[in-house]
Amino acid sequence: MALKRSVMGVGVVLATTLAACAPTKKPSTIGEEGAIHVADLRTSELDHPLALAAAAPSFSWKLVDDARNANQVAYEVRLAKDSGSPTLWDSGWVTDSQQIGVPYAGPALAHGQAYAWQVRVRDNHGKTSRWSPSARFETDLDVPADWGASWIGAPDPAATSAIFRKAFDLPQAPVRARLYVSALGVYRTYLNGQRTDGDILAPGWTDYNKRIPYQAYDVTARLHAGHNVIAAMLAPGWYAGHIASFGPEKYGKSPLLSAQLQLDFADGTHTWVGTDGTWQTAPGPFREADIIMGETYDAQRLPQRWNDTGVVSSAWVAAHVPAGGEAYTQLLHPQDDAPVRVTGMRHAVLLPRQPTAGARLFDLGQNMVGVVELKVKARAGKTIQLRYGEMLNPDGSLYTANLRTAKATDHFIPARDGEQSYTPTFTYHGFRYVEVTGLDDPADVLAVTGLVEGSDLAWTGELTTGSAMLDQLQSNITWGQRGNFFSIPTDTPARDERLGWAGDINVFAPTASFNQNTYTFLSKWLRDLREAQTPEGDYPGVAPNPVRMESGAGWSDAGITVTYTLWRTYGDRRVIDNGYASMGRFMALIERRAGPGLKRVHGPWADWLHLDDPTPPDLLGTAYLAYDAQLMSEMAAATGHAADAAHYTDLAERTKRAFATRYLHADGTLGTDSQTGYAMAIGMGLVPPATVADAFVRTIHARHDHLATGFLGTPWLLPALSAIGQNELAWKLLLNRDYPSWGYEIQSGATTMWERWNSLKPDGSFGDVDMNSFNHYAYGAVGDWMYRHIAGIAPLAPGYARFAVAPTPGGGIKHGGGSLESAYGRIATAWTIDGSRFTLDITVPPGTTAEVTMPRVDASSVQDRGQSAASATGISQLHAVAAGAALVLGSGHYVLTGDVSDIAL
């Protein structure tokens, strides 16, 4: 047993565990106390992280203030080693409204140290809050100096998986215990027989040649005085398992584990236990463990009480410590995005039709991502097989043809007779149906439960659509998101692909960022993209990019557009700062390639999967050059790069002119009759909308008012129609139920977004099997329009500090609304049309301003809770505009009513 003295930089022993951290010593006496307080403290946008990069934390909070028109005018932040300890840094009162990403500006923070911070604020009404409850965080380790653990693996280099254990004695129970773990591969860890965490497939997927994430867990409660056992399972994961259809071993051959447990005792002493050659290893239960292929779990091979105090048999040998592990240690970084976890459960029902003898086919009722818990009455040694599919064949059997080479099959070999459960550990699937075979009697399948897995992001958006079909559409979009946001944003969770396709997230990021808080998840992916940037500055089509996938317009541009979406949505400029140099190199490259004529022809995918409605690739490429330049000019200006901002503004203008010169004809056509061409030209502001409005509408009528757009055009289609005053046509496309449309998928029983408009054809046959996923979020990009036009919420300034509320009812729908948990707090809307009366219920969080448009409402009739709006507190600038009544709201809750001047609603 190797108990060593700490080699860490943890010089200070905490007086208490952090759990005992008191919120504040005494309430503030400064200023007038009132109904104002601070909530939802985030440290670098994380909720009490245990390994936060020590170099530059930032602080964010929300203000809770009952008064209308409230905003913060000053704040004070203070930080201590723990809430009982003396203050290490106090910002003093800072006269500033900033509530997002306030940088820490105190003395350098130590590594491996716990800290707590608080904030108090003063509002524009002169009220001062109490000190907020403390937000705790711990800093990361000083790697490599603080990472004393070795990398260990199975002695047999051909072994793809293994189990490990290490027993040790403790003189006393620790007051603080942290487990830091990483793997080249995927791991699960245990202390005294219990899992240390709920993470799935940790440490997640990055380019392991550049960055290996490690996790930190609070395991204080798992340890006791006396004998303890730490144990782990290890499998190939993305590191050595199959990636897409490219085969296994894209990063390395044999998985490795590195873990260290750091313990602090009440008497001020410390110790640690780290992976090394004294750990024991055994082959373990996995005959196969592969993300794409599935898992074969032979319970007979799992030693009894292997992760507990069980007797160690001769099956256990010393772990292998390969030479050169220090090189991996150098690449360790704390995970800074949300881990993949089980985020939900679904009970499967036995299908009434059982077409295959000896099999039991179950329906989860929802295309989902994750694994199942199988409850069976089984016989020891008899293999039970689980297969997964998104659809059924016409004969009722499981449809797996679209999985291509992904076997997506699990096997469970019980170690004993009788009732028992099995849940796969090191794989995951995309499926709605599960087929179980291999039991003596198929009726011995007792239950199948779906465990829904994905990156565990907070849900932030909600839509009330007033239409069952649209509610289902929103459900399909969110289910596609929750399963495909799996460490990286994948295209599809089912077939042999599951790659971080940049084009897909380029079009979907705005919708996704309404639905969930994507900040840390997509920031992490943007770093993956930067780490995959080519030496000349190009971003590839996928990230991580182990097979050197090429780039393409609309795909590589995600480096710019996703960054912009995160900044606009969450208001934190760090996301720009982090990518600024890299984005600059990309911009320089695409500008250079476009040549003096500013014509960008680049990329194999164009308007991917359009319906026989092609758009010239140079039109798409040039449009994206202008759009990227526009976004970069805003981001450069926001981060103090004035000269760059001027350059990008100029580039955007010149490219727009080049675009118009080349494509815009005198008759108002664009030299193409593709819907996407028009939608992008209008949506990206490349031509005056009115000039092409008629030609655009003709492209829709030519398809009998149906869409034909591919991945790149779809997000712009309805926004462009709304922009040219064709609100009803936008609603019509949204509400269509026949092919091709969003509604067609729903009429066909879809529970997630399909890859193709014709993934299932109107004749009931399947679309092209070579590429036909039923869980592909790209066409869910319409969600952005739904939030902006049904909930009516759209950002006007970063973080929604200023936002629009402008619902555009249509399609005969009489009520709608939605909400968004913004960085400042909850924005909510609910509108109804009752005869000629329009009611709009709005919540505006403190620190923000809403610019409201009440559609077709007579401005002189507007009231707030029955009082004239013109004199109500919080309301200003009430006036008539072409679209109806316009007014500006400070924070607060309003119930606005008005007379609709045009009953055509």
Site residues (CB under 6 A) for ligand BGC? 491-492, 497, 501, 503-504, 605, 608, 771
Q: What is the dihedral of CA 545, 547, 551, 557, to 10 degrees?
A: -10
Look at residue 123 and give its three-state secondary structure. strand
* C-alpha span between 144 and 489 (Å, rounded): 30
Residue 678 · residue 692 · CB < 8 Å:
yes
Q: How far is the CB of 759 from ligand BGC (least distance, A)?
A: 12
CA–CA separation, 525 and 546 (whole Å): 14
**Minimum CB distance to ligand BGC, residue 771 (Å):** 6
Min dist CB 881 to ligand BGC, Å, is: 40
Number of residues written out for the chain? 905
Q: Whose Cβ is closer to ligand BGC: residue 218's or residue 491's?
A: 491
Nearest approach, Cβ of 491 to ligand BGC (angstroms)?
Answer: 4
Q: Would you say 235 and 289 are in contact if contact means Cβ atoms under 8 Å apart?
A: yes
Smallest gap from Cβ 420 to ligand BGC, in A, equals: 37
Min separation Cβ 674 and ligand BGC, Å: 17
Strands (E), 292-383: 294-298, 317-318, 332-334, 340-347, 349-350, 359-378
Between helix 574-594 and helix 519-531 the angle, nearest 10°, is 40
Looking at the Cβ atoms of 392 and 771, the one nearer to ligand BGC is 771
Proportion of the chain in helix, strand, coil states, percent, rounded to 5 = 25, 30, 45
Q: Min. distance of Cβ 709 from ligand BGC in angstroms?
A: 15
Those residues whose C-beta lies under 8 Å from the C-beta of residue 451, and which sit 6 or more positions away, are 342, 344, 345, 370, 371, 372, 373, 423
Q: Which residues of 847-860 are buried (b: 16+ CB within 10 A; e: fewer)?
A: bbbbbbbbbbbbbe
Nearest to residue 884, comparing CAs of 892, 896, 872, 873?
896
Question: If you ran DSSP here, which 8-state letter would residue 608 be given?
Answer: T
Nearer to ligand BGC, 608 or 824 (CB): 608
The rounded Cα 710 to chain-centroid distance in angstroms is: 23
Rounded to a whole number of angstroms, the minimum distance from the CB of residue 606 to ligand BGC is 9
Element (H, E) at 270: strand 270-274
CB of residue 631 to ligand BGC, shortest distance in Å: 21
Half-sphere exposure of 905 (CA within 13 A, CB side): 25
Q: Which of 705, 693, 746 is nearest to 729 (CA)?
A: 705
Nearer to ligand BGC, 496 or 821 (CB): 496
DSSP-based three-state secondary structure for 820: strand
Closer to ligand BGC by Cβ: residue 431 or 570: 431
Find out whether the peptide bond into 236 is cis, omega within 30 degrees of 0: no
Distance (Å, whole) CA 562 – CA 541: 14
**Please, what's the largest Cα pairwise distance for the chain?**
87
Cβ nearer to ligand BGC, comparing 501 with 570: 501
Catalytic residue among 45, 497, 634, 821: 497
Residue 734 burial by CB count (10 A; 0-12/13-18/19+): exposed, middle or buried?
Answer: buried
Nearest to 123 by CA among 67, 79, 78: 67
Q: Which is nearer to ligand BGC, 288 or 497 (CB)?
A: 497
User: Rounded to an integer, what distance in angstroms lies between the CA atom of residue 73 and that of residue 847?
Assistant: 9
For the question of residue 249 being annotated catalytic, the response is: no
Cα separation of 562 and 579, whole Å?
Answer: 11
User: In whole angstroms, what is the distance from residue 624 CA to residue 781 CA?
Assistant: 17
Q: How far is the CB of 531 from ligand BGC (least distance, A)?
A: 20
Those residues whose C-beta lies under 8 Å from the C-beta of residue 785, and which sit 6 or more positions away, are: 715, 718, 719, 722, 730, 734
Is 587 strand, coil or helix?
Answer: helix
Residue 508 Cβ vs ligand BGC, minimum distance, rounded to whole Å: 10
CB of 388 to ligand BGC, least distance (A): 18
Identity of the residue, 540 or 846, whose beta carbon is nearer to ligand BGC in the bound complex: 540
For ligand BGC, the closer CB: 290 or 504: 504
Q: Give the three-class secondary structure for 289.
A: strand
Q: Tell me the torsion sign for CA atoms 505, 506, 512, 518.
A: positive
Q: Is the dihedral of CA 11, 15, 17, 19 positive or negative?
A: negative
Nearer to ligand BGC, 605 or 774 (CB): 605
Look up 497 and say whether it is catalytic.
yes
The residue among 705 and 768 lying less far from ligand BGC, judged by its C-beta, is 768
Residue 631's alpha-carbon distances to 384, 560, 599, 626, 685, in angstroms, are 54, 7, 18, 9, 12
Report in angstroms how near the CB of residue 370 gets to ligand BGC at its nearest. Answer: 20
Residue type (1 letter), 340: V
Q: Which residues pair with 387 in a beta bridge?
A: 409, 435
Active-site hit among 138, 288, 755, 821: 755
* H helix runs in 571-616, sequence order: 574-594
Pick between residue 325 and residue 503 the one whose CB is nearest to ligand BGC. Answer: 503
Nearer to ligand BGC, 334 or 430 (CB): 430
Q: Give the residue numbers annotated as catalytic, written as ranges.
A: 497, 755
